Structure 1
Amino acid sequence: MPQKYKVFFNHNTLNFVKNYFIVPRGCIAISNPTIDQLRNLVSTYIESDTRDQIYILCSDVKATWKIFTALFKKKKAAGGLVVNENRQWLLIKRKGLWDLPKGHIEKGEKTRQAALREVEEECGISQLTIDYKINKTYHTYKIKQSLILKPTTWYLMKHKGNEMPTPQTKEGISKAIWIDAEELESYCKKAFPSIKSVIKRATGFDAAFLTEAN
């Protein structure tokens, strides 16, 4: 499989692909960008509320990705998509959007340990086990004048029991709830594409609301 990378800027997505990739209609294509062009892209989309799909066509995907990521400070994170014994899924609401529990990996902490800890802290539930790694996402944000790239490793987790989650309000979480599988589509309409991509990978959903995360 050809090497490719995807990074999320709020509701915008940058896709780093080989230069022979056929770009879908309606998307933006940029071929072999210079470092200045990459900087301009970051400046344009880091705080944008648009919903663009941008394809970076590269002769060398890995080299271009390395140049791009060097523009940011990196903060590694881990999180989980949790299912309980009733086949219900755990979602949180953070800053008005539906999300999944996640957080920064502490110094000396293993990625899997961080994922479990963050779910426990942000949702107030225990008896969690990791089933498998779902994927890794990359999203960006800005703190003062610093550009941050957050690689987040996601795991499918199982919760033994049916504890009622409690949102960690100090982290900006207003709700933590269990929802039935058939409700995922409705809730994910108000979620970032990065979160939709995790749910799609884990559940196999191919509903229209997830196509933007392909």
Structure 2
Amino acid sequence: MPKPGPRASRRTTVEETSAGGIVVDFSSQDLSVAVIARLNRAGRLEWCLPKGHLEGEETAAEAARREVEEETGISGQVICPLGTVDYWFTVTGIRIHKLVHHFLLRARSGTLTVDNDPDQEAVDAAWVPFDELRTRLSFANERRIVAAARPMVREWEM
């Protein structure tokens, strides 16, 4: 008897694109980076890089700059792309395929706050020394982006 083939998924698949990044205070001795905390579905605090969906016709770099400012209160200048993370997850039976474009940004102005986040997803924000980021961030894919960013951060350090 032939083996049954793989079952076709009847779930709807949605493609999403987001952008965000590592916003560095290059004037700080420890090259501090603004990160945010969100509560996951289980109510656990997860520290992550600021990011969010592209809006309208904006580019990934424009969205990264906007999202960083909305979620952290810090206005940044995009320096260079760092890479793209590609992953899948499911929400209420819908499969989501998400691409997140990450950029390196130079902090220009602002005060660290989550009060301006229109989505109110961020519940806390903190400046974390660059060398401590990998131990603070909750997600392995973001820790890999930080590792890839290390040589670029050192190159742009003043």
Same fold (TM over 0.5): yes
The corresponding residue for 1:158 is 106
% same residue: 26
Give TM-score, length-normalised by structure 2. 0.76
Residue 128 of structure 2: SS of its match in structure 1?
A: strand
**Structure 2: which 5+ residue stretches go unaligned?**
40-44, 152-158
Indicate the structure with greater helix content.
Answer: 1
Tell me which residue corresponds to 1:208: none
**In 1: Cα distance, 2:113 partner to 2:88 partner:** 27
Do residues 140 (structure 1) and 81 (structure 2) align?
Answer: no
Question: In 1, Cα distance between the equivalents of 2:123 and 2:106?
Answer: 23
Alpha-carbon separation, structure 1, partners of 2:134 and 2:92:
34
- If asked which structure has higher relative contact order (CA below 8 Å, sep 6+), I would say 2
1:118-197 maps to which residues of 2 (within 5 A)?
118-126=67-75, 128-161=76-109, 163-167=110-114, 168=117, 170-188=119-137, 191-197=138-144
SS at match of 1:76: strand
What SS class does the counterpart of residue 74 from structure 2 fall into?
A: coil
Kindly state the Cα deviation for residue 107 of structure 1 after the two structures are TM-superposed: 2.3
Q: CA deviation at 1:140?
A: 2.0
1:103-151 per-residue CA deviation (whole Å, 9 max, x = no partner) reads 011121111111111111111122x111100000012222222100110
| Structure 1 residue runs without a partner (length 5+) | 1-34, 44-70, 205-214
2:154 corresponds in structure 1 to none
2:36 maps to which of 80, 88, 92: 92
RMSD: 2.3
Q: CA deviation at 1:180?
A: 1.6
Deviations 1:9-28 (A, max 9, x none): xxxxxxxxxxxxxxxxxxxx
Q: Structure 1-normalised TM-score?
A: 0.57
